A and B are shown apart, each in its own frame.
Chain A
């Protein structure tokens, strides 16, 4: 069983994001970067599948700057066997551009399963995994909450509005992991030590012209301060009035 997990280095969700002077990029200075939280589920699932099957290989693949090596080391510390960094300083916002580079790496490498997080929290495009499956002509199952593999086939559960959808698909395939798929492990101390000795291949890549550019980033509007309209039942009319005329939710 050979499994690829495509991962991404993203700003920590707890980080206060500041928009740069150009108005279209974030200030990276002082920002803590982490492994995309959804990718943790993808890595954990790959490790569990490998452990269940008794043998195989889990390869962590990231695209990004040299700093993404640290993110890959994190995956290796969790238990992935080797890493590949598709290195580029260019940033593309077009998911097709990104997917093409990843697909070129994945194509013909003999993976039985390709895992992604359901989306990266930095740009939320929710598209790269699915486009990769299209480029490789593989089945694509997005946002899975449960996965079973047997006899060259996969069965996945997807949460849909008001219920669960169960789908069956043939392998190889591309699946993207939703929250709750499993409980990602902490890297063990031994894992952290061994991660340094695991192979991490760095391959420079060129991004094609994406045909898409960011023209503006904006922070969400600041929440106005709370206000106490009064206390006790007497305040109810004032509250309803405020909800109607100020908040406009009634």
Chain B
């Protein structure tokens, strides 16, 4: 048995959170959103609007500068989701617009859920939380670019290509972030185009880094902010296909190709009738060291259900991302502090049974903006003035929804069939049956049986190697960037093999029994950050370049 946490390096809190004099090149904004995803951008839009309205009615808040930092070279390039989107947060944020104005591809017309065996697909009634009437199929990349345009039109400063590398603090107060330097060689020496990190000082910093946010983790650890359960994660691997056979149905599947003791499922959504978004999601508490989500996904596409649509088509994009799956009990006890709030996936606002996070992320951004606005009006940024953010979230559909399904994902800790039965009873009883908190361990503490991955030979038509996959993610990271991964070099071969199977992008390889790390391959999915080597921010613009993910 291998327990991943035994070989996992600690998060280097003392490097991620710094209390020192500002760097020479520093910049000041009033409010800084770290992460240009749905949460950060919705927050920036709402805040810019509130400020504008206040100044129009001579409320006296004055000019408020709002910045959004994004690590990708352009907005959306690191964003990945299924996605079937619940439009409610869009309607809240843009009351003057109609659904037709939003950057969605098409409404969900038909949906089907199947349980798969290796050769067959058995259609089952769609479980209640998975009903998608009134929702829309969309690309998160496109949503984010659209939100970015709206934010810019409102005067928000968007800094794309600038990862936040460190949290700047004074005592226990967050005062901003330092961006990652660019132009270092593999050994960390300055090259000709070297630009040091810039300190961005803000009255209030909103961390919206997405799933497994590095600074959000560091902040919670530093401030000892707990939760009833630790956060748990899944890894999703996804592709975009241009197909010859049209698809009109939102499809979800359970069962094969996953082992019975793994939690997860697949999705296939029509972005257009001949453009399909397809993926497989697996909980990182899986029980075998050799389980490889990328390979499982590749083999999954050979199933008649998917093959029917994909055959003769072309895979045009590939990507991977973790998903915070802990739900209600894993939401941090507080999501605010002195000069800081935590938003979206970084705070765990995601509902697994309905497979939704985007509208919760946006809504949390909206609430944070309202709390921030009120604090700024009072000239304050201390924790008590930001506590209203937690109250707004607690009293909203965000925590209501998460509470209703609080144990469903956790029930699957007892396996697919028993977990499925329990989850059904929970749904029927509105969450009251099996309502008591199911305790869970962090994913890295769940032991894995040592086994070897099954051999896999990609055919280059329906199935692809990790090398091809990384190419299709658009990843063109400079080969000579310093490694951003903190790896325990002394791990044995068994653990090294586990990393090699776990990482969908081929960052880890086992060569002559030794672990080899190909850091530039990394697509920032954060899977190994959950179970093994730690991820830290690297030069801006590194990583994938997603277009329609």
Q: Mark A168-199, 1 if CB is under 8 A from B, else 0.
A: 00000000000000010110111011001000
B374 at the interface (CB under 8 A from A): no
A203 at the interface (CB under 8 A from B): no
B182 at the interface (CB under 8 A from A): yes
Interface pairs (9), CB distance under 8 Å: A185-B193, A186-B195, A189-B162, A189-B198, A190-B25, A190-B198, A192-B157, A193-B67, A196-B157
Contact (Cβ within 8 A) A189 B159:
yes
- Say which residue of B65, B182, B200, B476 sits within 8 Å of A14 (CB atoms): B476
A153 at the interface (CB under 8 A from B): no
Contact (Cβ within 8 A) B195 A188:
yes
* Assembled-state Cα–Cα distance A183/B182 (Å): 14
Please name all residues of chain B whose beta carbon is closer than 8 Å to the beta carbon of A188 when the two chains form the complex.
25, 195, 198
Minimum CB–CB distance from B56 to chain A (whole Å) comes to 20
B97 at the interface (CB under 8 A from A): no
Chain B interface (Cβ < 8 Å from any Cβ of A): 25, 27, 65, 67, 74, 155, 157, 159, 161-162, 179, 182, 192-193, 195, 198, 200, 316, 474, 476, 540, 545, 547-548
Contact (Cβ within 8 A) A186 B25:
no
Known: A14-B474, A14-B476. A183 touches B195 (CB 8 A): no
Which of A14, A30, A189 lies at the interface centre, i.e. has the most chain B CB atoms within 10 A of its CB?
Answer: A189
Please name all residues of chain B whose beta carbon is closer than 8 Å to the beta carbon of A32 when the two chains form the complex.
74, 547
Please name all residues of chain B whose beta carbon is closer than 8 Å to the beta carbon of A30 when the two chains form the complex.
547-548
* Assembled-state Cα–Cα distance A16/B472 (Å): 11
- Say which residue of A183, A192, A193 sits within 8 Å of B193 (CB atoms): A183
- Say which residue of A16, A183, A185, A186 sits within 8 Å of B161 (CB atoms): A186
Please name all residues of chain B whose beta carbon is closer than 8 Å to the beta carbon of A192 when the two chains form the complex.
157, 159
Please name all residues of chain B whose beta carbon is closer than 8 Å to the beta carbon of A186 when the two chains form the complex.
161, 182, 193, 195, 540
Q: Mark A183-220, 1 if CB is under 8 A from B, else 0.
A: 10110111011001000000000000000000000000
* Assembled-state Cα–Cα distance A30/B195 (Å): 31
* Assembled-state Cα–Cα distance A186/B65 (Å): 22
* Assembled-state Cα–Cα distance A164/B476 (Å): 32
* Assembled-state Cα–Cα distance A186/B540 (Å): 10
Please name all residues of chain B whose beta carbon is closer than 8 Å to the beta carbon of A14 when the two chains form the complex.
474, 476, 545
Minimum CB–CB distance from A86 to chain B (whole Å) comes to 22
Contact (Cβ within 8 A) A189 B545:
no
Minimum CB–CB distance from A134 to chain B (whole Å) comes to 36
* Assembled-state Cα–Cα distance A14/B544 (Å): 12
Please name all residues of chain A whose beta carbon is closer than 8 Å to the beta carbon of B476 when the two chains form the complex.
14
* Assembled-state Cα–Cα distance A186/B160 (Å): 11
Q: Which residue of A lies closest to B179 (CB)?
A: A189
Contact (Cβ within 8 A) B192 A189:
no
